[in-house]
Amino acid sequence: MIEFLSFQKSYHSNLILSIPQFNLDSGIYFLKGPNGVGKTTLLQSIAGLIDFEGKIVLNKNIDLKSNPVAFRSLVNYGVAEPKFPDFLTGEDMIEIFLTGKRGKREHVEYLISFMGLKSFINQKIGEYSSGMLKKLSLLCAFLGESQWILLDEPFTTLDNKSVEDLIQWVLHYQEKFGSNFIISSHQLLPIEIQSSCKVIAIEDKTLNWVEA
Ligand SMILES: Nc1ncnc2c1ncn2[C@@H]1O[C@H](COP(=O)(O)OP(=O)(O)OP(=O)(O)O)[C@@H](O)[C@H]1O
């Protein structure tokens, strides 16, 4: 469970988010909201990448601020617009994430072939298209044994087949490993995942439940 307590995030003096109290139990969450409403800000806060006021607590007892290493080892974050060094290969990035997240190599081959990365995984990232880069960063977000996987705008730049594959991948991970997800998007919730998702939205600077 992720719990927000008196959570607030401002940039300079501009208040972006204010969440007095909100709990996310296990599951797959679709985080809705138009451009600029604060979805990335919320995910970056949970990922421990930016400072905020108040508390974010995992599983009732792991406070992000007082226990950041334990918290962050259980949370992975796939960014909306990945930027990896041009001179490394996809395989190099996977090794870096595997080491950092203490992931198991045996899962990697499956993930590479499932998401169709096989043909370019040894190519330099500087030669990747934006869709290839997105697939690599999504794969890296699945490495390790995190309880929560945060995917920021995962569907943008993916072709239709890859969107379907990613959804299958999310459902499979939840079923097999009990992984929980927060998937942000300013687009419509894909039909294939509708029945498996709880929908939340940022409205009036706070989090609310929404009908799917
Ligand atoms: N580093 C920053 N400094 C100042 N303001 C910022 C910064 N990052 C984001 N903001 C502001 O915070 C607000 C929320 O931005 P955020 O990127 O979280 O929105 P979003 O919902 O993810 O948008 P999108 O759907 O376009 O990705 C926006 O008004 C944005 O201008």
Over the stretch 128-164, which tens digit does the pLDDT of each residue have? Answer: 999 999 999 999 999 988 999 999 999 999 998 889 9
Q: Ligand 1: does its nearest atom lie under 6 Å from the Cβ of 43?
A: no
- pLDDT over 70, % of the chain: 100
The total of other beta-carbon atoms located within 10 Å of residue 161's CB is 9
Q: What pairs with residue 180 in β-bridges?
A: 148
The side-by-side arrangement of strands in the sheet containing 14-24 is 14-24, 2-11, 53-58, 62-63
Q: Ligand 1: does its nearest atom lie under 6 Å from the Cβ of 78?
A: no
Mean pLDDT of 41-68: 97
Predicted ipTM? Answer: 0.98
Separation of CA 68 and ligand 1 centre (Å): 23
* Residue, of 104 and 39, whose pLDDT is higher: 39
pTM of the full structure: 0.96
Q: The domain 2-84+145-210: what is its CATH number?
A: 3.40.50.300
- pLDDT over 90, % of the chain: 79
Q: What are phi and psi of 126, to 5 degrees?
A: -60, -20
If you take atom 18 of ligand 1, which residue's CA is the nearest one?
A: 38
For the stretch 78-121, pLDDT in tens is 999 999 999 999 999 999 999 988 888 887 888 898 888 999 99
For the stretch 80-89, pLDDT in tens is 999 999 999 9
Instruction: Give the pLDDT of residue 103.
Output: 82
